[in-house]
């Protein structure tokens, strides 16, 4: 049964994004908020990134300036591995149903993370598209950004360029250096054409993988925390290593596993295999 109206589906495919309120129930949202606050409190006893994921990177990443008095927990890699609440939201919520309405019926998880801009955080995300980070055989991929906190105009909201998912795929490499961002000239154009995505906690912004987007720093005293899941159609096959490997990578969350592969033609500049981990370490914080 579809949860999105035809008008909402049309808006997504026209604009490249769609904000849906109440995408998880209030009890699950409270559990997710509680889990995150527990992690923030735990981070006070650490001076550097800690915890371990399946590829031996730190699960909990701390921003420069993190202290016990002023914690700066800015990222959690694959939270679905360590939280039942986050796993349930990823796998079986209205958010999941919305994704299936757009790229289903068969949908699988690619990766998940939490990105947080705590009060006064200076994190600014440069303009980019997600697809060059996670190229697949086709572009039926959606980045679902679930708002754990209210997202307002002053706490570092997502900015997008409507309709840009229909345009070119832009390189994240500038002058032979991986920057994780498009070039400066195009970035200025994006800023002039962008709109801001805000919403109450529990809302989700569904974003096409080719949509140009970025975000500004958090300039207020309220946190902006996003639970980010990248989903793909089941017949979309990854062309590169997963930036955040997980035991749940490839989990079919809606429909069935068919083993089919669907390819489309597109132009994408893929870098050579990086000699260090920096290519994946520079994943965007949004």
pLDDT of residue 216: 87
**Which residues have a Cβ under 8 Å from the Cβ of 172 and sit 6 or more positions away?**
128, 132, 133, 178, 179, 180, 181, 182
Ordered by where they begin, the domains of the chain are 6-281 (2.60.120.620)
Structure token digits, residue 130: 């997600």
Residue 211: is its pLDDT beyond 60? yes
Residues 6+ away with beta carbon under 8 Å from 91 = 80, 109, 251, 253
Sign of the alpha-carbon torsion through 164, 166, 170, 172: positive
pLDDT band at 277 (very low <50, low <70, confident <90, very high): very low
Chain-centroid distance, C-alpha 52:
20
The percentage of the chain sitting over the pLDDT mark of 90, rounded to a whole number, equals 87
| Residue 230 near residue 130, CB atoms below 8 Å | yes
Task: Read off the pLDDT band of 265 (50, 70, 90).
Answer: confident
Round to whole Å and give the CA distance between 196 and 214.
Answer: 10
Strand partners of residue 109: 231
* 269: confidence class by pLDDT, cuts 50, 70, 90: low
pTM: 0.93
Average pLDDT, stretch 228-246?
A: 97
* 8 A C-beta contact, residue 89 and residue 75: no
Backbone angles phi, psi at 3, to 5 degrees: -105, -15
């Amino acid at each position: 049964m579809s949860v999105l109206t035809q008008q909402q589906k049309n808006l997504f495919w026209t604009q490249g994004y769609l904000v849906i309120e109440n995408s998880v129930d209030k009890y699950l949202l409270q559990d997710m908020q509680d889990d995150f606050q527990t992690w923030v409190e735990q981070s006070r006893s650490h001076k550097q990134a800690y915890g371990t994921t399946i590829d031996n990177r730190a699960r909990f990443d701390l921003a420069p300036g993190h202290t016990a008095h002023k914690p700066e927990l800015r990222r959690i890699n694959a939270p679905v591995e360590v939280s039942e609440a986050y796993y349930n939201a990823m796998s079986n919520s209205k958010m999941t149903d919305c994704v299936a309405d757009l790229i289903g019926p068969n949908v699988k998880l690619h990766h998940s993370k939490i990105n947080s801009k705590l009060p006064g955080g200076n994190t600014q995300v440069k303009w980019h598209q997600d697809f060059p980070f996670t190229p697949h055989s086709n572009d039926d991929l959606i980045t679902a950004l679930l708002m754990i906190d209210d997202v307002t105009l002053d706490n570092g909201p997502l900015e997008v360029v409507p309709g840009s998912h229909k345009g070119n795929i832009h390189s994240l490499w500038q002058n032979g250096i991986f920057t994780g961002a498009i070039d400066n000239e195009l970035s200025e154009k994006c800023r002039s054409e962008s709109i801001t995505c805000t919403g109450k906690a529990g809302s989700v912004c569904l974003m096409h993988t080719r949509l140009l987007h970025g975000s500004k720093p958090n300039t207020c005293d309220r946190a902006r925390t996003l639970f980010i899941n990248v989903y793909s159609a089941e017949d979309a096959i990854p062309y590169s290593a997963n930036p955040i490997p997980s035991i749940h990578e490839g989990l079919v969350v809606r429909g069935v596993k068919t083993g089919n592969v669907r390819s489309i033609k597109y132009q994408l500049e893929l870098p050579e295999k990086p000699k260090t981990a920096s290519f994946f370490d520079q994943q965007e914080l949004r």
